[in-house]
Amino acid sequence: MTSSAPFLCIGHRGARGHEPENTLRSVRRALALGADGIEIDVWFVDGELIVIHDARLERTTNGRGYVSRKTCAQLRALDAGEGERIPTLREVFETVERRAVIHIELKGRRTSGPVRALIAEFVERRGWRYEDFVVSSFHRAELRTISDPRIPIALLLTRPTKLYALSARHVRAVAVNPALRYVTRPFVEDAHRRGLKVFVYTVNEPADLARMREWGVDGVFTDFPERVLAP
């Protein structure tokens, strides 16, 4: 049976199927396609929250080496695809401007404090709501140190284990986000019984999208938002 709850479309790294991932151009494309949420990957480097997926620069930019060993100015001088710069998280917030929920994946260490502070700034000074954000990570220690119960948290899982719910409770998660390859219908049902939402990554193929809808998952991360919104 298909659930009547909304099936949310979260643009993965913006709209990665169409634009250079994790760039403002990609974020704008996901918004234009009507995504309910925008997912991006965040590191804290040289005092700035920057948006990039890998620990190294080669795959997505014209730079070389580890992101964490660069200055912010060096990172910002790079081409992240089609002339786009590596954005800051602040630029992503200002681009989204509350038109979608921002799913912030903490990739690097020591990102949780600066992310919490930036969210607080937008809530307290700019009229945003904590519900405009979800902070997620595979790193439980980072999620623990978010330490603000008003910020929604999602625990990223590769293959869910029997103890996943304990981990979710430990980080005060409101959602668990498993990989498509490992998610099962009993897992979705178990998470829902426990009051957890389930967002699955990364779902691009029509047959997989149909299966996720059928199983009642709450939403998917997708490189192609239009495939979710106009199946």
Residues belonging to the active site: 12, 53
Q: Scanning residues 86 to 105, which ones bind Ca ion (CB under 5 A)? A: 105
Q: Cα dist. 210→192, 201, 204 in Å?
A: 19, 14, 10
Partner whose binding site includes residue 156, from ligand G3P, Ca ion, none (CB under 5 to 8 Å by kind): ligand G3P
Partner whose binding site includes residue 111, from ligand G3P, Ca ion, none (CB under 5 to 8 Å by kind): none
Q: Scanning residues 61 to 90, which ones bind ligand G3P (CB under 6 A)? A: none
User: Do residues 42 and 105 make contact, with C-beta atoms less than 8 angstroms apart?
Assistant: yes
Kindly indicate which of the ranges 3-11, 29-37, 41-49, 209-217 contains the residues binding Ca ion, using the contact rule CB under 5 A: 41-49
Q: Scanning residues 47 to 66, which ones bind ligand G3P (CB under 6 A)? A: 53
Residue whose C-alpha is closest to residue 52's, from 63, 38, 42: 42
Write the DSSP symbol of residue 56: B
Cβ closest to Ca ion, residue 36 vs residue 41: 41
- Which residues lie closer than 8 Å to 55 by C-beta, 6 or more apart? 43, 66, 67, 68, 107, 108
Query: How many Å apart are CA 125 and CA 210, to the nearest integer?
Result: 41
User: Considering the complex, what minimum distance in angstroms separates the CB of residue 73 from ligand G3P?
Assistant: 26
User: Considering the complex, what minimum distance in angstroms separates the CB of residue 41 from ligand G3P?
Assistant: 5
Per rule CB under 5 A, is residue 223 in the interface with Ca ion? no
Q: Tell me whether residue 3 is exposed, middle or buried, using C-beta atoms within 10 angstroms of its C-beta: 0 to 12, 13 to 18, 19 or more.
A: middle
Query: How many Å apart are CA 130 and CA 203, to the nearest integer?
Result: 26
Name the token pair of 132. 């405009």
How many residues bind Ca ion (CB under 5 A)? The answer is: 2
Cβ closest to Ca ion, residue 36 vs residue 105: 105
User: Considering the complex, what minimum distance in angstroms separates the CB of residue 105 from Ca ion?
Assistant: 4
Residues that bind ligand G3P (CB under 6 A): 12, 39, 41, 53, 105, 136, 156, 177, 201-202, 221
